[in-house]
C-alpha cells in the first residue's frame, strides 16, 4: 500500500511546496528542481504577457499565477518529467516502483489525471532439466499493477492486482541448435561505429542467422497464482487462487507472413477460485459466496512498418472474465461477466492513442476510454 500512497502523493503536493518564489529576485529558489523552475518561469511569462495583466493589481497577479501554475503542474507531461528528473529519481532510488501520469478522457464525464503504477520481481528461480530443445524452469514471482486517480470514484480502471505466482516455464533452447553464419567485425565493436549503417546491417544479418530452425516458436508457462484484487480504496477485494497457462508465438522465419510482418500473438488462460469481500459489487448485490471464474486474455502486436509503411505498431488486447454457474442474482445485475477490449497505436517512445471498451472486475458499467499518450510525436 506504501507504493500506492507514494504514487498518489503527487496529486496532493501543495503548490507552495513545488514552487517557492524568491521574494527579492522573483527567480526560482535554490531548492527548486529544473522542471519546477521551468514551469515557474513559463507561468510567470504567461501571466505578465496576458493582455488583461494589471501591474498594479498584486492580488490579481497572485491569483492568476496560482491558477496558471496549478494547471501546468497537474499536466502529465510535467509530472512525468519531474519523475525523470535526477533529484526526484535520487529520492525514489531503491523504491522499485514504476509510475506514469496520464490524462484519461471518459465518455460523458470530465477528463481525469491518473497514475499507472507497476512493480514486478522474480523471487526465486530454479533450473529444471534442459534437453536439446527446451529449457525448463520453476520460479516464484511477485507482481503489482494498478491505476490511481485523485478521487477513487473517478477511476475508470478501478482495479489493483497483486499476485505471487509459482510457475513452470518451457522455453526453446536456442543455444541447443547450431547458429547460422555469423560474421564478426571487430571494427563494429568500437563506440564510434555504433550508428554506422554497415555495422547495423551486419548486426541485422547476424540476427536473422541466429535463429535457424525456429520458424514458428512457442514460449509457454503454466502454474498457480495466489492473487489479490482490490479497488482503489481497498474496500472491495477479491482473494483468488488460479491455475494458468500462457503461450506466446514468435516466428523467426522472415519468409512466412507472421515472420515477415513480425506479428506476435500471446494468450493467457486461467481458472480462478475467487473469495470476494462484503464490499464488492457482487456481494452488495446479494451474493457474497466464493465462486469459480474462467479468465482469458489475448494480446496481439502488429507492426505497421512493413504492412502499411507507417511507423506505428497496432496493439490489440482482449481480457475476459466469466463466472462459472453464476447465481440468478449475479446474472440479473450483470456482474457475472467482464470484458475489456483495448486497441492502441504505439511508437517506440510512447503510446499515441488507445481506445478501451468494457470493464474489469469491480467495474459496474461498461465504459469507453480514450487515452492519449503524454508523449505524442506525429
Partner 1 sequence: MSWNVNEPAHRFLWRCVRSHKWDAATSGGSMTTFDEGGQWLNAFIIDVVPGDSPEMVRFKAEKFILILDRLMIDVHQNTHEAGYDLSKTIAELAPLFAAPESKLESCAEAVDNAYKCVGEDL
Q: How far is the CB of 173 from partner 1 (least distance, A)?
A: 9
- Binding-site size for partner 1 (CB under 8 A) equals 81
Query: Angle, nearest 10°, between helix axes 34-48 and 58-73?
Result: 130
Residues 15-44 that bind partner 1 (CB under 8 A): none
Is residue 210 close enough to count as binding partner 1 by CB under 8 A? yes
Q: How far is the CB of 37 from partner 1 (least distance, A)?
A: 22
Residues 76-95 that bind partner 1 (CB under 8 A): none
Pick 64 or 313: Cβ nearer partner 1: 313
d(CA 363, CA 231): 9
Q: How far is the CB of 229 from partner 1 (least distance, A)?
A: 11
Is residue 319 close enough to count as binding partner 1 by CB under 8 A? yes
Residues 98-137 that bind partner 1 (CB under 8 A): 98-100, 116, 118-122, 125-127, 135, 137
Q: How far is the CB of 350 from partner 1 (least distance, A)?
A: 6
Pick 58 or 126: Cβ nearer partner 1: 126
Is residue 68 close enough to count as binding partner 1 by CB under 8 A? no
Is residue 198 close enough to count as binding partner 1 by CB under 8 A? no
Pick 11 or 246: Cβ nearer partner 1: 246
If DSSP codes are grouped into helix, strand and coil, which group holds residue 182? coil
Alpha carbon 320 to chain centroid distance? Answer: 18
Is residue 175 close enough to count as binding partner 1 by CB under 8 A? yes
β-partners of residue 218 are: 249
Q: Please select the residue that binds partner 1; options are 7, 238, 280, 354, rule is CB under 8 A.
A: 354
231 close to 201: Cβ distance less than 8 angstroms:
no
Query: Angle, nearest 10°, between helix axes 34-48 and 76-84?
Result: 150
Residues 330-349 that bind partner 1 (CB under 8 A): 340-342, 344, 346-349
Q: Please select the residue that binds partner 1; options are 95, 311, 328, 332, rule is CB under 8 A.
A: 311
Pick 8 or 21: Cβ nearer partner 1: 8
d(CA 35, CA 311): 30
Long-range contacts of 141-147 (CB under 8 A, 24+ apart): 141/165, 141/167, 143/118, 143/119, 144/3, 144/117, 144/118, 144/119, 144/120, 145/117, 145/118, 145/119, 145/120, 146/4, 146/116, 146/117, 146/118, 146/232, 147/114, 147/115, 147/116, 147/117
Amino acid at each position: 500500500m506504501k507504493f500506492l500512497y507514494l504514487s498518489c502523493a503527487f496529486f496532493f503536493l501543495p503548490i507552495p511546496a513545488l514552487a517557492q518564489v524568491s521574494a527579492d529576485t522573483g527567480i526560482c529558489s535554490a531548492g527548486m528542481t529544473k522542471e519546477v523552475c521551468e514551469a515557474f518561469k513559463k507561468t510567470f511569462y504567461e501571466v505578465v504577457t496576458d493582455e488583461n495583466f494589471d501591474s498594479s493589481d498584486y492580488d490579481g497577479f497572485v491569483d492568476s499565477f496560482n491558477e496558471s501554475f496549478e494547471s501546468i503542474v497537474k499536466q502529465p507531461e510535467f509530472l512525468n518529467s519531474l519523475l525523470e528528473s535526477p533529484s526526484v529519481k535520487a529520492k525514489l532510488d531503491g523504491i522499485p516502483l514504476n509510475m506514469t501520469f496520464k490524462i484519461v478522457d471518459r465518455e460523458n464525464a470530465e477528463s481525469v489525471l491518473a497514475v499507472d503504477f507497476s512493480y514486478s520481481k522474480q523471487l526465486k528461480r530454479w533450473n529444471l532439466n534442459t534437453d536439446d530443445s527446451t529449457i525448463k524452469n520453476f520460479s516464484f514471482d511477485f507482481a503489482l499493477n494498478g491505476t490511481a486517480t485523485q478521487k477513487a470514484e473517478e477511476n475508470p480502471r478501478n482495479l489493483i492486482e497483486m499476485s505471487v505466482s509459482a510457475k513452470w516455464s518451457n522455453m526453446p533452447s536456442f543455444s541447443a541448435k547450431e547458429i547460422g553464419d555469423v560474421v564478426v567485425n571487430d571494427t563494429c565493436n568500437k563506440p564510434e561505429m555504433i550508428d554506422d549503417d554497415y555495422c547495423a546491417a551486419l548486426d541485422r544479418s547476424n540476427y536473422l542467422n541466429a535463429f535457424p530452425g525456429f520458424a514458428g516458436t512457442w514460449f509457454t508457462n503454466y502454474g498457480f497464482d495466489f492473487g489479490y484484487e482490490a479497488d482503489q480504496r481497498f474496500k472491495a477485494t477479491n482473494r483468488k487462487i488460479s491455475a494458468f497457462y500462457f503461450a506466446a508465438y514468435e516466428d523467426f522465419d522472415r519468409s512466412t507472413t507472421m515472420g515477415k510482418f513480425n506479428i506476435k500473438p500471446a494468450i493467457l488462460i486461467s481458472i480462478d477460485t475467487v473469495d470476494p469481500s462484503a464490499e464488492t459489487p457482487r456481494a452488495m448485490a446479494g451474493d457474497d459466496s466464493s465462486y469459480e471464474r474462467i479468465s482469458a486474455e489475448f494480446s496481439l502486436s502488429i507492426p505497421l512498418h512493413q504492412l502499411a509503411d507507417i511507423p506505428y505498431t497496432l496493439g490489440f488486447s482482449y481480457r475476459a472474465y466469466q463466472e462459472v454457474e453464476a447465481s440468478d442474482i449475479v446474472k440479473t445485475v450483470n456482474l457475472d461477466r467482464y470484458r475489456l477490449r483495448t486497441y492502441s497505436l504505439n511508437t517506440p517512445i510512447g503510446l499515441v492513442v488507445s481506445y478501451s471498451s468494457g470493464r474489469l472486475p469491480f467495474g459496474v458499467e461498461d465504459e469507453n476510454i480514450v487515452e492519449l499518450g503524454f508523449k505524442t510525436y506525429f
